[in-house]
Amino acid sequence: MSTQAPNPGRVAGKVAIVTGATSGIGRATAVLLAREGASVVAAGRREELGAELVGQLLAEGLSIHFIRTDVSKRQDTERLVAGAVARFGRLDIVVNDAAAFLYRGVEDTTEEEWDEVIDTNLKSVYLVCHDAIPHLRAAGGGSIVNVSSVHAYATMERVAAYAASKGGIVALSRQMALDYTRDRIRVNALIVGGVDTAMAHKHAAALGQTLEDTGFPTDDRVLGRAAHPEEIATGILFLVTPDASFVTGSPIFIDGGLLARL
């Protein structure tokens, strides 16, 4: 499947922060935004994968910078936003994609596990946006996309912390959209289904299963199949361009029809 951007230059001159950018949806989004003309600051915890991403995009002549970031930590998110603005002079786009997954029910989840999932998935959105919003306002407006999940609407057994965190992202995105509409800052939650990522395969394997065994077929003709990360990235691209100027406060479903199934 081609990862080349369909309309080069749609975010030319913009500066974007993408969290969770070392793999999966985040990496695909960082690549696509850079190929569409944005200067991208990629955030993640794995420096070796960050360096690989930077090397790939610099070889294409694109504008990319990596900042090692644990998005659950206040000092890291402050450094991320400050570093992005110091390097590129402004901020226009924020994509919050960092995520942690856990197969546990409430009784089986330790407090430490609960905090890790909630802090990585939900608290991180607050932390990044807390420091990013003043810069988006200073730029005359911008777009925030917070990656949520179908688990915010219809879930499965033993994913208590993950479902709670993804539901929180939807509510927080809706509320932020109300607060910042006068600043011309659009905020949307992206609702994704299964995605063919290393994280998804890892957790399926932990159950002794394949991704398809967990309910996400790989046949492109089937509703609810696992998406390619690039298919999610194209939805994010739309939301951060002027084409989506009237879209804010909305849950945007890109789930391959997963929630359409009984």
Residue 153 domain-assigned (yes or no): no
Whether 103 is catalytic: no
Count CB-CB contacts under 10 A for residue 128: 26
Residue 106 domain-assigned (yes or no): no
Q: Indicate the number of domains in the chain.
A: 1
Q: Which domain holds residue 138?
A: 15-100+117-148+167-260
Q: Given 103, 126, 153, 162, which residue is catalytic?
A: 162
Q: What is the dihedral of CA 41, 42, 44, 47, to 10 degrees?
A: -100
Residue 105 domain-assigned (yes or no): no
State residue 224's pLDDT score. 75
State residue 179's pLDDT score. 98
Residue 253 domain-assigned (yes or no): yes
CATH number at residue 255: 3.40.50.720
State residue 262's pLDDT score. 57
Q: What is the pTM of this model?
A: 0.93
Residue 63 domain-assigned (yes or no): yes
Residue 249 domain-assigned (yes or no): yes
Give the total residue count for the chain: 262
Residue 109 domain-assigned (yes or no): no
Q: Show pLDDT as tens, one digit a residue, over the chain (262 residues).
A: 444 544 459 999 999 999 999 999 999 999 999 999 999 999 999 999 999 999 999 999 999 999 999 999 999 999 999 999 999 999 999 999 999 999 999 999 999 999 999 999 999 999 999 999 999 999 999 999 999 999 999 998 899 999 999 999 999 999 999 999 999 999 999 999 887 776 766 666 666 777 676 667 767 777 778 889 999 999 999 999 999 999 999 999 999 988 987 5
Residue 5 domain-assigned (yes or no): no
